[in-house]
Chains A and B, each alone.
Chain A
Amino acid sequence: MSFLDLKNVTKIYPNGTKAVHETSLSINEGEFMVFVGPSGCGKSTLLRMVAGLEDITEGDINLDGKLMNEVDPSERDVAMVFQNYALYPHMNVYNNLAYGLKNRGIDKETIEQKVNDAAKLLQISDYLQRKPSMLSGGQRQRVAMGRAIVRNPKIFLFDEPLSNLDAKLRIQMRLEIKKLQQKVGVTSIFVTHDQVEAMTLADRLAVINNGIIEQLGTPIEIYDNPKSLFVAGFIGSPQMNFLDGNLKNKTLSAEGFEIKDINSDYEGEVTLGIRPEHLIQTENGLINLKVDLVEQLGSDNLVYGQLKNKKDFCYRCPGNQTIEKGSNLSLNIENNKHYIFDKSTGKRVN
């Protein structure tokens, strides 16, 4: 049995909302798991059930070999970092960190030692006497992390802890969280709706949609091999291009072009997915793109335009290429990297 084990976990709120559907998931000790999905898909609910802050309607949660369903959150030995940090406003930073230890009846010297160690690790030693209201957003974030670390819990839970920070700080904290987790080695679950955050942090990633885990795997697996239309559209930035098409006799006919020798026996209406970064410019390519707009990011250019049938399409090329607005590009699919999904179910068919 793995470290954290969710078995057919379902959550139905008292008002009838079914937030999580029969979800099963195993997380190994020391693993960094990320739950990613759009707003309202049930990520927080799942996390809060692990913490014990929500009752489990059905199913079992096992942590370190013990059934957690009826265990009070104060007894679970988990630590959580909330989106708005939920620091204790009337306590200074030192006491914010020390509170959980005091409740465990640990003696004063040990507490002081642990708090100072955690503070040093997070570089908040200088603020120990300050109240949270006298700290910047990034510092509060660190205090919230410190409060989790200092108790040395079985598992860290993060519920979108970076979403209140500005873009630059977010990237910096993201890195620090990852480094810290590797250093401390604590099993962690991190909830986010930002797919870049998800990709960069995760050892493994669970893409959640409507209360169901659509796909579970390493970030690269999920990026390279999305199992459904939803996952394909959600992971990757800019988003994958989707075109309607028809698959018959291993031949795909889409908007004005055909791809032969498709590795699938499926026949019928399909959606073809092509990532913007899997395209190359050639002469007489499959796809003709009329350029509307070019976003220059420096390293890359994002080229937005329309196909013949007025369908929006995006192409990503290296930043050193100059592309004129209004020009026509001829594109091919690089290494035949394309994804085909059943149009009605969204399941991958190739």
Chain B
Amino acid sequence: MKIKPLQIIAHIILILGVLLMVVPIWISFASSSHDSVTILTEGMKFHIGDQLARNYNEVLNEKGGWSEEVTAAKMFINSFIMALGIATLKVAISAMSAYALVYYRFKLAVPIFWLIFITLLVPLEVRIFPSYKIVSDLGLTNSYTGLILPLVASATATFFFRQFYKTIPDELLESAKLDGANGWSFFIDFLVPLSKTMIAAMFIFMFVYGYSQYLWPLIMTTAEEYWTVVMGMKIIYTESYEGVALPRTAERFAYIILSMIPPVLVVVFLQKWFIKGLIQTEK
């Protein structure tokens, strides 16, 4: 087989790209297996040390926070629930609203679509005070509902679903109608299975979006039992070194590595459909 120079260059670029992504993760992982003292004195590590089990055990089970009650494991669970709720509801709501916009040609469909689209300009950070006011008036602070609900509407996903539904030929709807399908069964029996790759892709994006929320949970939660991973990253190991103790750098690395696992699991689990969704559209 002949290899062209262009191919070699392309592969070099790709390999560099891979290294750029993988090396920091590896350094974090390697560093998480050493003693904090070693890292503080010698810098970050490339090789695995002997403190791996101890560090990870400590991160997962040590009770932290001001009340010394919340563990990192609890925060992972919180974040997972929040991200799962956000992703599921976002996908479901966007798919359904796109369905309404495309298939029910009521007069206001176009203005409503643009209204939804404009909300892209008003992300949560911009409307955080009104959102907080509403959620707190509803008594939803310090609850999963409060964490999830204000984030479940998605203009982006609605847009993508809308574009996808528009590519589905009208005859499909028509012949389904003649076969006795009603509005609901067309959605469930046709649009959902036809867009399952799209749903998987959207779900992954939205999961990562929900998982990496910082500001909203920070404002929403005062009880430590609702803390999320990203908040914890900032808070959990700060209290112990104020004063005399050393910063617990190694545990922090372990925490970071652990925090990556849930999104990675979601990607691994859905990747079959996800990749299909990116590279091919089913006829």
Q: How many A-B contacts at CB < 8 Å in the complex?
A: 60
Instruction: Determine which of B171, B177, B194 lies in contact with A84 in the assembled complex, contact meaning CB atoms within 8 Å.
Output: B171
B50–chain A nearest beta-carbon distance, Å = 53
A177–chain B nearest beta-carbon distance, Å = 18
Q: Are B185 and A90 in contact (CB under 8 A)?
A: no
Q: Are A82 and B194 in contact (CB under 8 A)?
A: no
For B178, B180, B190, B194, the residue with the greatest tally of chain A CB atoms inside 10 Å of its CB is B178
Write out the residue numbers on chain A whose beta carbons fall within 8 Å of the beta carbon of B182: 74
Q: Are B177 and A53 in contact (CB under 8 A)?
A: yes
A103 (CB) vs chain B CBs: closest residue? B180
Known: A74-B180, A99-B189. A86 touches B175 (CB 8 A): yes
Interface residues of B in 179-205 (CB under 8 A from A): 179-182, 185, 189-190, 193-194
Q: Are A80 and B178 in contact (CB under 8 A)?
A: yes
6 contacts between A and B (CB under 8 A): A51-B178, A52-B178, A53-B174, A74-B177, A80-B178, A88-B190
Write out the residue numbers on chain A whose beta carbons fall within 8 Å of the beta carbon of B169: 84, 86
Write out the residue numbers on chain A whose beta carbons fall within 8 Å of the beta carbon of B177: 52-53, 72-74
Known: A89-B194, A90-B193, A90-B282. A103 touches B181 (CB 8 A): yes
Q: Are A73 and B178 in contact (CB under 8 A)?
A: yes
Write out the residue numbers on chain B whose beta carbons fall within 8 Å of the beta carbon of A329: none
B175 (CB) vs chain A CBs: closest residue? A86
Interface residues of B in 252-283 (CB under 8 A from A): 282-283
By a beta-carbon cutoff of 8 Å, the part of chain A in contact with chain B is 51-53, 72-74, 76, 78-80, 82, 84, 86, 88-90, 99-100, 103-104, 133, 147, 151
Write out the residue numbers on chain B whose beta carbons fall within 8 Å of the beta carbon of A151: 179
Write out the residue numbers on chain A whose beta carbons fall within 8 Å of the beta carbon of B189: 99
Cα–Cα distance between A147 and B189 once the two chains are bound (Å):
16
B189 (CB) vs chain A CBs: closest residue? A99
B172 within 8 A of A: yes
Cα–Cα distance between A82 and B185 once the two chains are bound (Å):
21
Write out the residue numbers on chain A whose beta carbons fall within 8 Å of the beta carbon of B171: 82, 84, 86
Write out the residue numbers on chain B whose beta carbons fall within 8 Å of the beta carbon of A74: 177-182
Write out the residue numbers on chain A whose beta carbons fall within 8 Å of the beta carbon of B282: 89-90
Cα–Cα distance between A52 and B169 once the two chains are bound (Å):
18
| Contact-size category for B | 10 to 19
A215–chain B nearest beta-carbon distance, Å = 30
Cα–Cα distance between A90 and B276 once the two chains are bound (Å):
14
Write out the residue numbers on chain B whose beta carbons fall within 8 Å of the beta carbon of A133: 283
Cα–Cα distance between A149 and B190 once the two chains are bound (Å):
22
A186–chain B nearest beta-carbon distance, Å = 14
Cα–Cα distance between A318 and B207 once the two chains are bound (Å):
76
Cα–Cα distance between A73 and B185 once the two chains are bound (Å):
15
Write out the residue numbers on chain A whose beta carbons fall within 8 Å of the beta carbon of B283: 89, 133
Cα–Cα distance between A73 and B171 once the two chains are bound (Å):
13
Instruction: Determine which of A78, A88, A89, A90 lies in contact with B178 in the assembled complex, contact meaning CB atoms within 8 Å.
Output: A78
B103–chain A nearest beta-carbon distance, Å = 14
B266–chain A nearest beta-carbon distance, Å = 24
Knowing that A73-B174, A90-B193 are A-B contacts, what are 15 other residue pairs whose CB atoms are under 8 Å apart, sorted by A's residue number? Answer: A51-B174, A74-B178, A74-B181, A74-B182, A86-B169, A86-B171, A88-B175, A89-B194, A90-B194, A99-B179, A100-B179, A103-B179, A103-B181, A133-B283, A147-B175
Cα–Cα distance between A82 and B172 once the two chains are bound (Å):
10
Cα–Cα distance between A99 and B185 once the two chains are bound (Å):
11
B190 (CB) vs chain A CBs: closest residue? A88
Cα–Cα distance between A10 and B171 once the two chains are bound (Å):
23
